[in-house]
């Protein structure tokens, strides 16, 4: 494996204090994008752990700007956490600068490395097991947005440009249809027509931002349970992690993507579409958790946008899967023929179901926004 060639003695040393000695280093966690390691450090007989991570600069092409985002947001959070009497070393990530003062170190192979203080006594979980998990997920991300409500989001760089720009995503989809490089368009006319009929609706959140109807917010853009650290002693969420996709956006993006993956009654690649719907019960569970905190700062227009965001984030994901299918499956990893098409169909089934339930979704949001 490539990581065996990394010079960890050199890499880890860049993030150590005087008197520190690396005892061991090894892979850590289950992330798929960056390479993550935990290093055990000893100083004067006392041991501690730090996280050392190689940033995947083929996906995050501006690592320096990305680290500026993370440092800016976590520094802002630390001030609020300290003012509230919280633990600044456990309730947000702590970036360890390299010896030269930069927020990263570039090794001889051109790899970008960063380091964080290891948060002890907390665990991340890969999947939601109970309704309480989903409620707590909503509350955690609602609180994350609440703490950052006054952060100048326009100062953040886009770590993945146009990530939730549905206008651009739609243009890419249309281009893939027109090029039809694999000759697949003829077999997916129903899906193409479904998407084409929703062009205007797909851009509703983007347009609300452009027109100033909703404010620009700090958005996490990967609001899954495994990005929440749960305190081992209390069972409560203490820290949001994986801040690589921190970007300026709409509150509805984070809310909507959580509903897309968490309130579906089936897997993202389920072939039997009769098993797929958007569970209003699960929608209510998440919305109640999220709004228990977020109602403090969201505007009326933002509250209205949340349910729409669920539909649009699901639609966006669907057209991305369909675009990739038409383009020859070059972006998303597939594990069987038509895998991206199956994924597209589940998303479009969810979109259609959300359209039928939109009034009920709005009513649920209004119920918990009071």
What domains sit in the chain, N to C, each tagged with a CATH number?
A: 2-119 (3.30.200), 131-369 (3.90.1200.10)
127: confidence class by pLDDT, cuts 50, 70, 90? confident
220-229, 246-255, 275-284: range with lowest mean pLDDT = 220-229
Which candidate, 242, 231, 32, places its Cα nearest to that of 136?
A: 231
Which candidate, 320, 269, 46, 358, places its Cα nearest to that of 160?
A: 320
* pLDDT (mean) for 256-263: 95
Q: Are 65 and 57 contacting, i.e. CB atoms less than 8 angstroms apart?
A: no
**Residues with Cβ within 8 Å of residue 333, at least 6 apart in sequence:** none
Q: Is the pLDDT score of 33 beyond 90?
A: no
Cα separation, 129 vs 229, in Å, equals: 15
* pLDDT (mean) for 347-352: 98
Instruction: Kindly state the percentage of the chain with pLDDT values over 90.
Output: 93
Cα separation, 218 vs 216, in Å, equals: 7
Q: Is the pLDDT score of 1 beyond 70?
A: no
Q: What is the pLDDT of residue 129?
A: 83
Q: Is the pLDDT score of 72 beyond 50?
A: yes
Only one residue has tokens 């509703």, namely: 204
Which candidate, 250, 301, 238, places its Cα nearest to that of 87?
A: 238
Q: Is the pLDDT score of 289 beyond 60?
A: yes
In tens, the pLDDT along 144-196 reads: 999 999 999 999 999 999 999 999 999 999 999 999 999 999 999 999 999 99
Cα separation, 170 vs 53, in Å, equals: 34
**Residues with Cβ within 8 Å of residue 158, at least 6 apart in sequence:** 247, 248
Backbone angles phi, psi at 184, to 5 degrees: -95, -15
The β-bridge partners of 230 are 123, 237
* pLDDT (mean) for 27-56: 94
Instruction: Give the N- to C-terminal CA distance of the chain in Å, as an integer.
Output: 54
Q: Is 328 left (phi over 0), alpha (psi -120 to 50) or beta?
A: left
Q: What is the pLDDT of residue 290?
A: 98
Q: What is the pLDDT of residue 5?
A: 82
* pLDDT (mean) for 122-129: 87
Q: What is the pLDDT of residue 126?
A: 83
* pTM (global) more than 0.85: yes
Q: What is the pLDDT of residue 4?
A: 60
């Amino acid at each position: 494996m490539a990581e065996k060639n990394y010079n960890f003695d050199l890499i880890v040393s860049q993030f150590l204090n005087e008197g520190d000695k690396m005892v061991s280093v090894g892979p850590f966690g289950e992330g798929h994008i960056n390479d993550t390691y935990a290093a055990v450090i000893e100083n004067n007989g006392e041991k501690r752990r730090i996280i050392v991570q190689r940033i995947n600069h083929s996906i995050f092409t501006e690592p320096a700007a990305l680290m500026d985002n993370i440092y800016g947001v976590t520094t802002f959070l630390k001030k609020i956490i300290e003012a509230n009497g919280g633990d600044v070393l456990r309730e947000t990530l702590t970036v360890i600068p390299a010896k030269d003062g930069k927020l990263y170190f570039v090794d001889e192979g051109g790899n970008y490395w960063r380091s964080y203080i290891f948060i002890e006594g907390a665990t991340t979980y890969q999947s939601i097991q109970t309704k309480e998990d989903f409620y707590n997920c909503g509350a955690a991300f609602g609180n994350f947005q609440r703490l950052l409500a006054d952060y100048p989001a326009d100062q953040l760089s886009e770590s993945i440009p146009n990530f939730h720009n549905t206008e651009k995503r739609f243009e890419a989809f249309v281009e893939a249809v027109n090029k039809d490089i694999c000759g697949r368009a003829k077999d997916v006319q129903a899906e193409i027509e479904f998407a084409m009929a929703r062009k205007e609706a797909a851009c509703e959140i983007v347009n609300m931002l452009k027109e100033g109807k909703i404010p620009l917010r700090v958005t996490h853009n990967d609001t899954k349970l495994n990005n929440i650290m749960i305190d081992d002693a209390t069972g409560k969420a203490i820290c949001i992690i994986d801040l690589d996709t921190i970007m300026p956006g709409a509150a509805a993006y984070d809310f909507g993507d959580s509903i897309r993956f968490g309130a579906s009654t089936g897997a993202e690649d389920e072939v039997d579409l009769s098993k797929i719907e958007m569970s209003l019960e699960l929608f209510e569970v998440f919305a109640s958790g999220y709004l228990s905190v977020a109602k403090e700062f969201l505007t009326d227009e933002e509250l209205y946008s949340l349910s729409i965001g669920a539909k649009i984030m699901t639609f966006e994901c669907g057209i991305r899967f369909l675009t990739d299918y038409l383009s020859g499956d070059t972006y998303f990893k597939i594990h069987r023929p038509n895998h991206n098409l199956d994924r597209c169909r589940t998303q479009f089934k969810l979109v259609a179901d959300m359209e039928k339930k939109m009034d009920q979704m709005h009513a649920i949001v209004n119920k918990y926004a009071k």
